[in-house]
Amino acid sequence: MVGANTFPSIPPINLKIKAVKSEAITCEEARQIDLVDYLAKLGHYPTKIRRFDYWYLSPLRDEKNSSFKVNRNMNLWFDHGTGTGGNLIDFGKLYYECTVRELLIKLAGEENGTLSFHHQSDRKEKESQTNERKIKITDSREIRDPHLRKYLGGRNIPSIIASRFCSEIEFELNGKKHLAIGFKNDRGGYELRNEHFKGGSSPKSITWIKNDPERLSIFEGFFDFLSFQTVLISERELVHELTKNQDSYIILNSLAFFEKRREIIEQHQRINLFFDHDEAGLSATKKALKWSDKYIDESHRYTGFKDLNEFHIHSRQIDLKENRCYHGRL
């Protein structure tokens, strides 16, 4: 249970806005509305809170895992499932499917004109703290940390696969040092994961692994790609065969890059899609199948599971159970 004094937050103040039907508040006033309080008024509450980050089941789509984040200190939101984000105006346009003008009029009239705002004096403080919250990569090395190796094991990724494509990354965030599995993108940024952290360093981009110029397989996240590589190992007798006769791969690292990279994607003649079984992934797959018959939906391979890695973990659990039964241990 989240206590009122457990997590830091920016105290709101109430400002009265004259609620005249034809009158709208300004964009600047709308951007200052406290997003956490506004979401609560709409009936959406965080499933977890970590410092200034409030995580929700996305109000913009159906999902089972909380991937919609509000940073209350910056008063900004980001939906990791769709790769979209912004301020309250950006959210309101999507939530109500309306224009900016319509949203501003609606906000002016809500709750008898009472809206919760951030203190204006907090703005300089927030700006000064922004740089401190940026992830700073301090070291990249072979994966040795036992906690990270255990985390990989829990996701059914063998060390030989992880070490081929990932690194152990040391980074600083909020003045503290952390370790994570790092997956590098084409612009030098990293996707970072450990048991308690999911994030990434700037700049954000795709990871393009070039092999077969005709065939391409696309994954939303790098753990799905690592799962795919793990399956390939089980199908080949020698590990060094792993690099032979493979497709090219694009790991999007954010579904938002899919349409943006369409030009390079369609340089290939066959494009296999391994997207998540959520609203964003299914929507992207459906859109691609309409673009061209080059696209092939491969998500049927893990029907009943959110993504390829979840299916891969479950498959290993079944294998282990059957092995224990065989040896009379169950």
Q: Is 246 exposed, middle or buried (0-12, 13-18, 19+ CB in 10 A)?
A: middle
From 161, 267, 158, select the one nearest 208 (Cα to Cα).
267
Residue 320: partners with Cβ closer than 8 Å, 6 or more residues away? none
pLDDT value for 279: 84
Q: Radius of gyration of the chain from Cα atoms? A: 23
Which residue type does 161 have?
I
In whole angstroms, give the CA distance from residue 298 to residue 320.
Answer: 26
Q: What is residue 102's predicted lDDT score, i.e. its pLDDT?
A: 87
Q: Which of 187, 199, 186, 254 is nearest to 221 (CA)?
A: 254
| Dist. CA 116–CA 173, nearest whole Å | 29
Q: What is the pLDDT of residue 249?
A: 97
**φ, ψ dihedrals at 38, nearest 5°:** -70, -40
d(CA 182, CA 170): 9
Residue 329 burial (C-beta neighbours within 10 Å; 0-12, 13-18, 19+): exposed
The secondary structure element, H or E, covering residue 84 is: strand 84-86
Question: Number of H helices and number of E strands within the chain?
Answer: 12, 17
Q: Which domains does the chain have, with CATH numbers?
A: 13-132 (3.90.580.10), 135-200 (no CATH), 206-330 (3.40.1360.10)
DSSP string, 114-134: EEEE--TTHHHHHHHHHHHHS
CA-to-CA separations, 156 to 50, 204, 225, 278, 305, in angstroms, rounded: 27, 26, 12, 22, 15
pLDDT tens, residue order, the chain (330 aa): 444 333 344 344 333 333 334 467 888 888 888 898 888 888 888 888 888 889 999 999 888 888 999 998 888 999 998 888 889 999 999 988 888 888 888 888 764 445 555 443 344 444 334 433 578 999 999 999 999 999 999 999 999 999 999 999 999 987 889 999 999 999 999 999 998 888 888 888 999 999 999 999 999 999 999 999 998 876 554 444 555 568 999 999 988 899 999 999 999 999 999 999 988 899 999 999 999 999 999 999 999 999 999 999 988 655 544 444 333 332
Whole-angstrom distance, CA of residue 185 vs CA of residue 235: 27
List, in sequence order, every residue forming a beta bridge with 115; answer none if it has no partner: 15
| CA proximity to 48, closest of 171, 196, 178 | 196
Q: What pLDDT, on a 0 to 100 scale, did the predictor assign at position 81?
A: 85
The enclosing H or E element of 152 equals helix 146-154
Each as own residue / partner, the long-range contacts of residues 56-60 (CB below 8 Å, 24 or more positions apart, any chain) are: 58/82, 59/91, 59/95, 60/91, 60/94, 60/95
Strand partners, 192: 182, 199
pLDDT for 2 equals: 41
**pLDDT of 246:** 87
